[in-house]
Amino acid sequence: MAGLHDTGSPCHLLGTPACPIHELPREPNARLEPLETQNKTLIQAHAALETSLRAPRESEENARLILRAAPVATLVMNRHGRITQANAHAEQMFGYPGGNMAGLAIEDLIPERFRAAHRDYRGNTERPPQHRIMGMAGEDFYGLRADGGEFPVEVGLSPLQLGDERVVVVSINDITERKRAEEDLRITAIAFESQAGMIVTNADGIIVRVNQSFTRLTGYAAAEAIGQTPALLRSGRHDNGFYQRMWAAIRDKGFWQGEIWNRRRNGKIYAEWLTITAVAKPGGEITHYVGTFSDITQNSEAEAEIHRLAYYDPLTQLPNRRLLHDRLAQALACGCRSRRHGAVLFLDLDNFKTLNDTRGHAVGDQLLTEVARRLQTTLREGDTVSRPDDTVSRLGGDEFVLILEDLSESAEEAAVQARHIGEKLRHALALPYDLANREFHCTASFGITLFHGHDDSIESLLKQADLALYQAKNAGRNTLRFFDPAMQAALDERSALEADLRRALKRRQLRLCYQPQLDSRRRIIGAEALLRWEHPQRGSIAPDVFIPLAEETGLILPIGHWVLQTACAQLKTWSGKATTRDLHLAVNVSARQFRQPGFVAEVEALLDDYDIDPSRLKIELTESLVIDNVADTITRMQALKAIGISFSMDDFGTGFSSLSYLKRLPLDQLKIDRSFVRDLAHDPNDAAIVQTIITMGRTLGLNVIAEGVESEAQLEFLAGHGCHAYQGYLFSRPVPVKEFERLLEPA
């Protein structure tokens, strides 16, 4: 409201004032003037007809001419209530063109509910001549068109003696527009006394009218406000620029609305939602301004809280991911203008999960709050970072992102500056923390990427910084790494390989090869099914390249199912041949696949589908999978063991071997890893480990198989210490099934 007078500029907002027109300063009303003119015309025309029809007989023709020329709808009705004459206005109004009204009963032009009243009026025509207007003084009276439509009218009835005949002259005025205007005024009057505060000024900004809600909301009585300007409400919280923008919007758009702070009579400042409207004459001249407002102080405070929840982390009060994107967009724009580099630092805390698990989430939250404080404090101490409060963000968990701006125009110098700041932050975070009266040490790893204007998108920058953070973690934690384009190249290659792997599964590019497993007499007793991928363009892709990718992306689940299904189908085929029916087939199962809730049921279903002997299928599990959750592993293994499946522990000795869990597992076999077999003839440590594994297997009653056997010397050592079975290039590489089956043929 204070804006109504703060610049003196005109505006156009609501279109019409929300108050009765007659209570504003007197101005001609464009909507009512034509209706008042029609009333005067009706009375004047009626009087002229009355005079003419009373004239002598020789003037009857003149009377007819006057009737036709009358500016209002006019009828002549005989004493029987029949229409004898009607002018063109009447014919048009009632929808009877071409003189078709003559002979109609007057009641044909009146809705049923008004006909009795009209007959009473017509019955009075036997009395001395009189002039009566029906439909005025609050009465409702309607005409009836030929098409059945009704419309409000005022009707003038004048009984006249025309020679020997007594007639009634009927003048009709359509008052539809007047009724609509009166209704609008009534609604406007009610609206003006609504719960919203309303203030009306003249074109010079002088208050001429306020409603009761204005007094209730501001404390100013009408007498105190009228004659003043809305500036008496001004709070002082808005500068001149605020009001200039307000009036600029009013000039351009015709109205303004928004939040504004004003001051009550008692001096208290409050927030209100204000709409300003300029009332203009048809020619465009501004006559009044109307302000409508409501108190939104509580809403404003609630909106501030909603804003905090939407854009700030509730724990640390740092900007969240949503606001980070906004700040980073601003930083990119600023960098584009200044031509200076900026940097994004992505950090997370090392071993934060351990703290949460051992000390509880409350202590973890305390650490995160202190980390946020140290980040902000350290940045404020530097002179190369702009808007430090807005450049530190928390994405969630223990992940934080920092935006550094106004670094050097040189990429090399900007990298040095970013590293310097990153190291300061790393050292600050590595200082001891006092958490719940106990000292705690925590370090952080940083990933950094530089940006320069709009060369990179927000998402790509965050991905680059995240990838650099991943490299810092791999480098041993508590360190800092920059994004290298080679990292992005590797990332792009990984994405392309993932897409190819998905297609390979659909297009049947994967296949199984079979590496023979032999007993101490060099007889083939089975095989290990090994997955291979022949890419149509890349050629053969090594398993140690695509299998980890399948694990990370979840593709290992459909691939693992396909491997099991293919192995079962192969066992079914072998069961029909004498040379292969006794072979067993070992299949590697990933940790992710084995942990699936339906894995046991999946294996059972495949055994049933292919109707094979379960004892011929051997599942190889890695040592790391087993010790990750020993209790759950044992439960699943026992369920599969109950239906006849056998188990081999793959890569035994490379993990954390322990007799305490090993004796509880329903294993059938231990597989000595190739890394121990490779150098056992030259490395006494490997030889000792191999000998220990064989002894352990014999002690636990487990079969022992060695993989990676490539020489006779290795085979001789293994056999001399009691190894049961062998697998390696000394006997055969992994080969397609047809080639494997040829190995079974007699020499």
Rounded mean pLDDT, 306-310: 67
Q: For residues 256 and 286, what is the distance between their CA atoms, to the nearest angstrom?
A: 16
pLDDT band at residue 323 under the 50/70/90 scheme: confident
pLDDT band at residue 526 under the 50/70/90 scheme: very high
pLDDT above 90 for 294: no
Q: For residues 116 and 112, what is the distance between their CA atoms, to the nearest angstrom?
A: 8
pLDDT above 80 for 187: no
DSSP-derived secondary structure for 577-598: STTTTT-EEEEE--HHHHTSTT
Percent of the chain with pLDDT over 70: 81
What tokens were used for 9? Answer: 């500029």
Contact 527, 514 (CB under 8 A): yes
Q: For residues 405 and 94, what is the distance between their CA atoms, to the nearest angstrom?
A: 79
User: Which residue has better confidence, 180 or 315?
Assistant: 315
State the average pLDDT for the chain.
82
pLDDT above 80 for 662: no
Percent of the chain with pLDDT over 90: 37
pLDDT band at residue 347 under the 50/70/90 scheme: very high
Cα three-residue angle 165-167-169, rounded to 5 degrees: 155
Contact 681, 711 (CB under 8 A): yes
What pLDDT is attached to residue 391? 80
Beta strands at 539-541 and 584-588: parallel, antiparallel or unpaired: unpaired
What pLDDT is attached to residue 583? 96
Please give the domain boundaries of the chain with CATH numbers for all domains: 2-19+181-301 (3.30.450.20), 33-174 (3.30.450.20), 314-483 (3.30.70.270), 497-743 (3.20.20.450)
pLDDT above 70 for 237: yes
Q: Which residue intervals of 29-151 are DSSP H helices?
A: 33-53, 60-69, 88-94, 112-123
What pLDDT is attached to residue 123? 57
In the block, tokens 């953070």 appear at 469
What pLDDT is attached to residue 299? 66
Across 473-477, 611-615, 686-690, the highest mean pLDDT is recorded for: 611-615
Across 322-326, 383-387, 646-650, the highest mean pLDDT is recorded for: 646-650
- By CB neighbour count within 10 A (0-12 exposed, 13-18 middle, 19+ buried), where does 486 fall? exposed
- How many alpha carbons fall within 13 Å on the CB side of residue 145? 13
Across 29-43, 327-341, 597-611, the highest mean pLDDT is recorded for: 597-611
In the block, tokens 């939602």 appear at 273
- Minimum mean pLDDT range among 48-57, 144-153, 393-402, 457-466: 48-57
What pLDDT is attached to residue 35? 46
pLDDT band at residue 572 under the 50/70/90 scheme: very high
Rounded mean pLDDT, 60-80: 77
Helix (H, G, I), strand (E, B) or coil at 348: strand
pLDDT above 80 for 706: yes
Rounded mean pLDDT, 243-249: 79
pLDDT above 60 for 209: yes
Across 56-60, 453-457, 484-488, the highest mean pLDDT is recorded for: 453-457
What pLDDT is attached to residue 59? 52
Cα-only R_g, the chain: 48
- Tens of pLDDT, residue by residue over 76-121, are 888 888 998 899 899 999 999 877 898 898 889 999 888 877 666 5
**Residue 162 contacts by C-beta under 8 Å, 6 or more apart in sequence?**
53, 54, 60
What pLDDT is attached to residue 368? 94
What pLDDT is attached to residue 747? 65
Beta strands at 703-707 and 669-672: parallel, antiparallel or unpaired: parallel
**Residue 434 contacts by C-beta under 8 Å, 6 or more apart in sequence?**
440
pLDDT above 60 for 126: no
At 256, the amino acid letter reads W
What pLDDT is attached to residue 122? 59
- Tens of pLDDT, residue by residue over 629-657, are 788 889 999 999 999 999 999 877 676 55
pLDDT above 60 for 125: no
What pLDDT is attached to residue 206? 92
Contact 742, 580 (CB under 8 A): no
What pLDDT is attached to residue 246? 79
pLDDT band at residue 443 under the 50/70/90 scheme: very high
- Minimum mean pLDDT range among 119-128, 219-228, 331-340: 119-128
Cα three-residue angle 89-95-99, rounded to 5 degrees: 65
Q: Which residue intervals of 411-484 are DSSP H helices?
A: 411-430, 458-474
pLDDT above 60 for 71: yes
Helix (H, G, I), strand (E, B) or coil at 8: coil
- Tens of pLDDT, residue by residue over 2-43, are 666 554 433 322 223 333 333 333 333 444 444 455 555 555
What pLDDT is attached to residue 330? 83
